Amino acid sequence: MATLFEKIIARDIPADVVFEDDHCIVIKDINPAAPVHVLIIPKKPIPKLADAETEDQALLGHLMLTAGEVARQLGVEEGFRLIVNNGEGGGQTVFHLHLHLLAGRDFTEAQLAP
C-alpha cells in the first residue's frame, strides 16, 4: 500500500509543495511546530532511516543538500534545525523517511524536541 507521502508525491492528496526534483519533494507540514516547518521527503519510500542501505548513500546526501537549498530559498539558512524521527520509539508517525526542517523560532534552549 502506498504511504501517505507517496500519495502526496503522486498528487492523490494535496500538499503545499515548496520544492521538487527527481529525487525528493519538500512540503509544508500540515501541523507546523515552528513558523517554518517543512518536510524533505525522498521519492523512494524508505520506511525509516535505519532501513536505509549503502545504495541510498547518495540519496541521503541529496536530502541534506536539499535542506540547505530550501533553507536558502526560505531565507532561514542562518538558523534552522533538522530532525529525523526514527521508529515509533523516536516519535515517527509516518513510515516513509523524511527530514523535518524547522526555523523561525528560538532553538537556543537545550531541548531537542521539534
Q: Which is nearer to ligand 5GP, 68 or 91 (CB)?
A: 91
| 66 lies in the site for ligand 5GP, by CB under 6 A | no
**H/E stretch holding 17:** strand 17-20
| 111 lies in the site for ligand 5GP, by CB under 6 A | no
| 87 lies in the site for ligand 5GP, by CB under 6 A | no
- The string of DSSP codes covering 73-110 is HHT-TTS-EEE---SGGGT--SSS--EEEEESS---SS
Binding site for ligand 5GP (CB under 6 A): 4, 15, 27-31, 39, 85, 91-94
